[in-house]
Structure 1
Amino acid sequence: MKRLLGVALGILTAIGGFVDIGDLVTNAVVGSRFGLSLAWVVVVGVVGICLFANMSGRVAAVSGRATFEVIRERLGARAGLANLAASFLINLMTVTAEVGGIALALQLAMGVQYELWIPLAIVAVWLVIWRVRFSIMENVTGLLGLCLVVFAVALALLGPQWGDLLKDALTPAVPSGESAGSYWYYAIALFGAAMTPYEVFFFSSGAVEERWGPKDIAQSRINVFIGFPLGGFLSLTIAVCAAVVLLPAGIEVVSLSQVALPVAQGGGQIALAVLIVGIIAATFGAALETTLSSGYTLAQYFGWPWGKFRRPAEAARFHLAMIVCLVVAGAVLATGVDPVLVTEYSVVFSAIALPLTYLPIMIVANDPGYMGERVNGRAVNVLATVFLVIILIASVAAIPLMIITGAGQ
């Protein structure tokens, strides 16, 4: 029972990675344009993130150190710097999007222009990071994010033709009216969103925050194999709801309010209220996760004291880095940039950075100097190698497809 109650870290990581503001809109866009013909990408992404997050959690539990610390030590400062540059830029873009996502969710709830909520969102994120214990943060935010299960409830109430949906998912094809380029562009975007690098950095750093040891490897597996599939399930329900309600009506999603339409139609005002709570919790959790990941990666690379288990005065540069990230995010949003668009670009760029993240994790997970007898098994290495090939293909194809399709238009 204690282990089952300990899945909050995995839930928070999964919701922050799969169901942030960009994924809420991107999955709805995919459902409203492509039906369920891209559902297979989410499944592949879930398998991939489970595979590498499990490695990352095991490394943290056995070595007592976060993934980025070990990567820098094992591969050297130069390789670590390339990883840092790519992951930090993506983190910063995602922090910007998530702060804007909180503001958009509050606008949906209150009807007040979202720009007015941005300063409040920044202050709230910082106060939680500064004052709230890690365990409370992950439990409250992760569990409230489960309100997004209302997508599944609304879907059941809508009473779709399940056979047609299953056929659409199992026989993927480019729909008429859509180009193959756009199809594969969104496939890479969904894959990048599922395997965003900050997820493993946050997960492994959270394991250190929770002081996991070798005896907690089973706990790590429970977090991974419950939390991440749950995040994938929630993202699929968003796409299915859009495919059932928006696709037949010819409505292409361009705003957060349109994402909520299927829930309102299926479950009414109560379901809509629950959804808004879930969206606020998910975007707030993602903002916490990406802000902390930005601080984690910088502090771990440069060897600064870090972690919420330390008082802010004992990890001053770690906390200062996060303040700067939040200020930069607010400044970018003040220019009027669309936070949803920022996130959609960030998930595509994350696909480019994936090889720099996951190859080093695999190398460290096979190093007996760090792992002792708990190195990867043969089957895990074979599957990880297959995924590294997929990751490399997605990384190479991302920018050309973005240019050719005009970012999926």
Structure 2
Amino acid sequence: MKKFLGITLGILTAIGGFVDIGDLVANALVGSRFGMSLAWVVVLGVLGICVFAEMSGRIAAVSGRAVFDLVRERLGPKAGLANLGASFFILGLTVAAEIGGAALALELATGVNYLLWVPGVAFVAWLVMWRVKFETIERVFGLGGLALVVFVVALWQLGPDWGQLWQQAARPAPPEGEAVPTYFYYAIALLGGAMTPYEVFFFSSGGVEEKWTRSDLSVSRANVFIGFPLGGLLSLAIAACAATVFLPVHVQVDSLDQMVLPVALGVGQIGLALVILGVFAATFGATLEVALSSGYCLSQYFGWQWGKFVRPREAARFHATILVVMIVATALILTTIDPIMVTEYSLVFSAAALPLTYLPVLMIANDRDYMRDKVNGRLSNTLGTIFMILLVVVSIAAIPLMLATKAGQ
């Protein structure tokens, strides 16, 4: 019964935690501008995160060590440091974006300017990370994010032309009037949102926090292969809602209040309240996950004591790292920089750094010194290799496309 409960709650947590501010913004924006013609990217991203999250969970369960704990040992100090630098920069941007997203959700709920909420969101998030147990953090905010299922209900209530949505999804090409470089720029942003690096850092470190062993591989795989695809379904529902409401009138989504409008139109005030709750829970939960991931990767690389399974004073540098990241991210948002813009840039930079994140995972999952008889099989290696080739292409194209399209304008 205990294992069943762990699997069930883990699945629900994965669903709620999959859709963060990056997925919310990217899918709504793409749906309003390109319809469902980029749905294939979401499907590809879900497959990719499933492949590498399964590897990272298996690494944690078999070796008892998180991915970044093995990066320096496996890649060497210099390559590991390059990986750490890129990952830490992206994590910092993402924390800022998530804090901004949670503050924007509170603005929607109260009408009070989001900048006034930013310090409070950051402080409460830090307090939760310092005092609340890992398992509670993961489940409460992940389950709260399940309120985003209201997008699926809203899509049904809006009564879209299902045939037209299917035609858009079945035609993976730029709609009339859209340039090919812009189309692929947003494809890269969507892929970056689906395969955000912090997901594997948090997933593998969480496995160590929860003391996974070989007997917990079924729990890990259930979280991955049921939770992430259902989270992807929410992403597609968000894009389809935007395509139904905004694409016909040629309005591009560029704010959070526009993103939730289809739910209000489809389900009414109750739906609007639920979606605001879901957005807050998802973005606040992601704030915790990303900030913790920053502490995980830095502490694991330098060999410091880390984790919420030990007292804060015994992992002082881990908690100090989180505090500094929260302060810097809060200061960035308080400059009045647009949180949506920060989100869009963080997605593209995430995409550019994807090979640095996932190459060590693939290497470690094939190393018998760590994995013994649980090394990758033929299917995992084939899919992992195909995705690594794709991610290298994406990383090379990401920044040039951002410059050439002026960030998708």
User: Match of 1:346?
Assistant: 346
How many Å separate the matches in 1 of 2:244 and 2:3?
Answer: 37
Gaps of 5+ in 2: none
Bigger CA drift: 68-77 or 215-224? 68-77
How many Å separate the matches in 2 of 1:375 and 1:213?
Answer: 15
User: Match of 1:171?
Assistant: 171
How many Å separate the matches in 2 of 1:234 and 1:292?
Answer: 25
User: Match of 2:323?
Assistant: 323
* Aligned positions of 1:28-47 closer than 5 A: 28-47=28-47
Q: Helix, strand or coil for the counterpart of 1:5? A: helix
State the TM-score, normalized to the length of structure 2: 0.98
Shift of 1:6: 2.2
Shift of 1:5: 3.0
* Aligned positions of 1:250-399 closer than 5 A: 250-399=250-399
How many Å separate the matches in 2 of 1:313 and 1:152?
Answer: 44
How many Å separate the matches in 2 of 1:371 and 1:14?
Answer: 28
Deviations 1:257-287 (A, max 9, x none): 0001100000000000011110010000110
Shift of 1:52: 0.5
Shift of 1:21: 1.8
Q: Helix, strand or coil for the counterpart of 1:107? A: helix
Shift of 1:23: 2.0
Deviations 1:108-150 (A, max 9, x none): 0000000000111011101110111111111111111000000
How many Å separate the matches in 2 of 1:71 and 1:22?
Answer: 26
Gaps of 5+ in 1: none
- Tell me how large the CA RMSD over aligned residues is: 1.2
Please tell me whether the aligned partners of residues 84 and 298 of structure 1 are also in contact (alpha carbons under 8 angstroms): yes
Shift of 1:11: 4.7
Percent identical residues: 63
Shift of 1:15: 4.2
Which letter does structure 1 place at the counterpart of 2:356?
Answer: L
Q: Helix, strand or coil for the counterpart of 2:374? A: coil
* Aligned positions of 1:9-48 closer than 5 A: 9=10, 11-12=12-13, 15-16=16-17, 18-48=18-48
Shift of 1:22: 2.7
Deviations 1:313-350 (A, max 9, x none): 11000000000000001111121111111111011101
Which letter does structure 2 place at the counterpart of 1:37?
Answer: S
Whether 1:60 aligns to 2:60 is yes
Corresponding residue pairs, total: 408
How many Å separate the matches in 1 of 2:132 and 2:254?
Answer: 35
State the TM-score, normalized to the length of structure 1: 0.98
Q: Helix, strand or coil for the counterpart of 2:254? A: coil
Please tell me whether the aligned partners of residues 23 and 194 of structure 2 are also in contact (alpha carbons under 8 angstroms): no
How many Å separate the matches in 2 of 1:116 and 1:337?
Answer: 14
Shift of 1:10: 5.5
User: Match of 1:240?
Assistant: 240
* Aligned positions of 1:192-207 closer than 5 A: 192-207=192-207
Q: Helix, strand or coil for the counterpart of 1:129? A: helix
Q: Helix, strand or coil for the counterpart of 1:6? A: helix
Please tell me whether the aligned partners of residues 16 and 141 of structure 2 are also in contact (alpha carbons under 8 angstroms): no
How many Å separate the matches in 2 of 1:9 and 1:114?
Answer: 31
How many Å separate the matches in 2 of 1:125 and 1:66?
Answer: 23
